[in-house]
Amino acid sequence: MQTECDVVVMGGGPAGATAATLLAERGHKVVLLEKDAHPRFHIGESLLPANMPLFEKLGVAGEIERIGMEKWGATFVSPWHDKTAGFEFADATDPTMPKAFQVRRSDFDEILFRRAEKVVMEARENCRVRDVSLGGRREPTTVTATDSAGVVHEYRAKFVLDATGRDTFLGNRLKLKQRNAAHNSSAMYGHFRNAQRDCGKLEGNIIIFWFDHGWFWFIPLKDGITSVGAVVWPYYMKARDKPLRQYFLETIAMCPPLAERLKGAELAAEPEATGNYSYSCTACQGESYLMLGDAYAFIDPVFSSGVMLAMNSAFFGADVVDARLKGDARAEAGARAKFDHVMKEGPKQFSWFIYRVTNPTMRDLFMAPSDKLDMKKALLSVLAGDIFGKTRIKPGLYAFRVAYYLFSLANLRRSLAAWRRRAFNIRDDSTMRPARG
């Protein structure tokens, strides 16, 4: 079967479904292909306040509100500090985005996909892209996909969007994907029934617990289920010598404040694990393609930034494709420059914090955040995902960074030990052993 269209969007997660909706609403013939069928499990359940305006623009805010657990902030728990640290997004530099949601991704992704389905020329689930032959400005791009019945679908398009997430379809094909040499981590996660949550407005906060081998997330969902995940250094995952369920539960036991919250809780499904997920591609666009969301880069889940960055990339990506399809070369050049900027700026802003989040100095700063020089406000703006220049957060961020380096210098021995340990932990070495110290 051969179909002519304007754009093929490969992958129907948040990035793909958002881009498909935006382009179809601008009058383009869009085909959206998803290898799974919604609703399907996906990890990545904690959203950011910066997602909210995107939901409004897409017209799905009401539906997300219906399935989402209100998230007004984040709580940090450290075994090296005697009190917890709570943050409210309302205290960020821009207080107009005080809330986000925690969502079951199966429900969330389905809402976005069904939204796209209503407006695109063709939306196909259970249809995996197998091959792409990239064209140019005049020659069409051919996308070949196979559905679950084995039927081969061939699409001839003017443009293709890669939104295949961590499958990084084009990144692999074009050999543009690179391991992130500055970061490396793995995760185990599961859904619990009857976890002990906070009350009232705090109930929906994400809670981050640090522990010896990394950190945990605790994400309360609306239906009473709580998502718990351990993000650990690769050596810790490699040391697993027992079934995942047992290893996961034993890992939780190493973090007493989290174990306390899970005392009467039970796993609602078998836990899952994923490893070495920090990567980026050396380019996010070509003559007839763009890479969106995780198809371009993913660093680490600690700031819950993945879905926001994925949807944001779709908004900026849609401007590029729209200009290209309208034949407006000037608008296309401008949109491409902006797209390139946001694709790099997002991971860059978060990565400075991500690379240091397990550092003792950073922990100290998080556990006792200072309001001086707007440092706390700027930190909260990052936690809210307000990082693309709309709000003036740079002075506060610079102050925060200076404070970090000064405190690191003041505790030089501890800092050097931490840097050495981290360098050891993130290295790409199959014979890796646990770091000492």
Ligand X SMILES: Cc1cc2nc3c(=O)[nH]c(=O)nc-3n(C[C@H](O)[C@H](O)[C@H](O)COP(=O)(O)OP(=O)(O)OC[C@H]3O[C@@H](n4cnc5c(N)ncnc54)[C@H](O)[C@@H]3O)c2cc1C
Q: What share of the chain is helix, strand, coil (3-state, %, to 5)?
A: 40, 25, 35
Where in 282-311 is the site for ligand X (CB under 6 A)? Answer: 293-295, 298, 301, 304-308, 310
Comparison of 42 and 81: residue with beta carbon closer to ligand X: 42
Please name every residue paired with 228 in a beta bridge, in sequence order, or none if there are none: 190, 218
Comparison of 7 and 10: residue with beta carbon closer to ligand X: 10
Comparison of 43 and 329: residue with beta carbon closer to ligand X: 43
| Residue 68 DSSP class | P
Q: Looking at 45-53, 66-74, 114-122, 399-407, which segment touches ligand X (CB under 6 A)? A: 45-53
Among 7, 20, 45, 143, binds ligand X (CB under 6 A): 45
For residue 294, what are its two tokens?
A: 């995780």
Count of residues in contact with ligand X, rule CB under 6 A: 40
Where in 144-203 is the site for ligand X (CB under 6 A)? Answer: 163-167, 169, 187
Q: Looking at 11-19, 76-84, 193-201, 258-266, which segment touches ligand X (CB under 6 A)? A: 11-19
Amino acid at 322: D
Distance CA 366, CA 326 (A): 48
Among 8, 12, 74, 160, binds ligand X (CB under 6 A): 12
Where in 341-400 is the site for ligand X (CB under 6 A)? Answer: none
Spatial neighbors of 338 by CB under 8 A, at least 6 apart, are 316, 319
- Three-class SS state of 147: strand
Where in 247-286 is the site for ligand X (CB under 6 A)? Answer: 274, 277
Q: Looking at 36-44, 60-68, 240-248, 252-260, which segment touches ligand X (CB under 6 A)? A: 36-44
Distance CA 241, CA 290 (A): 41
Distance CA 63, CA 56 (A): 10
By CB under 6 A, residue 35 contacts ligand X: yes
CB of 127 to ligand X, least distance (A): 7
Comparison of 58 and 375: residue with beta carbon closer to ligand X: 58
- Three-class SS state of 270: coil
By CB under 6 A, residue 204 contacts ligand X: no
By CB under 6 A, residue 140 contacts ligand X: no
Find where tokens 């997602």 sit.
51
Identify whether the C-beta of residue 398 lies closer than 8 Å to the C-beta of residue 408.
no
Where in 226-245 is the site for ligand X (CB under 6 A)? Answer: 229
By CB under 6 A, residue 13 contacts ligand X: yes
Comparison of 228 and 378: residue with beta carbon closer to ligand X: 228
- Three-class SS state of 125: coil
Comparison of 283 and 331: residue with beta carbon closer to ligand X: 283
CB of 386 to ligand X, least distance (A): 15
Comparison of 120 and 307: residue with beta carbon closer to ligand X: 307
Comparison of 49 and 360: residue with beta carbon closer to ligand X: 49
Question: Concatenated DSSP letters for 11-50?
Answer: --SHHHHHHHHHHHHTT--EEEE-SS-SS---S--B--GG
For residue 57, what are its two tokens?
A: 């623009």
Buried b vs exposed e over 52-70: b needs ≥16 C-beta within 10 Å?
bebbeebebbebbeebbbb
Comparison of 306 and 369: residue with beta carbon closer to ligand X: 306
The CA-CA-CA angle for residues 392, 334, 164, to 5°, reads 85
CB of 230 to ligand X, least distance (A): 9
- Three-class SS state of 431: coil
Q: Which residues bind ligand X (CB under 6 A)?
A: 10-16, 33-36, 42-47, 128-129, 163-167, 169, 187, 229, 274, 277, 293-295, 298, 301, 304-308, 310
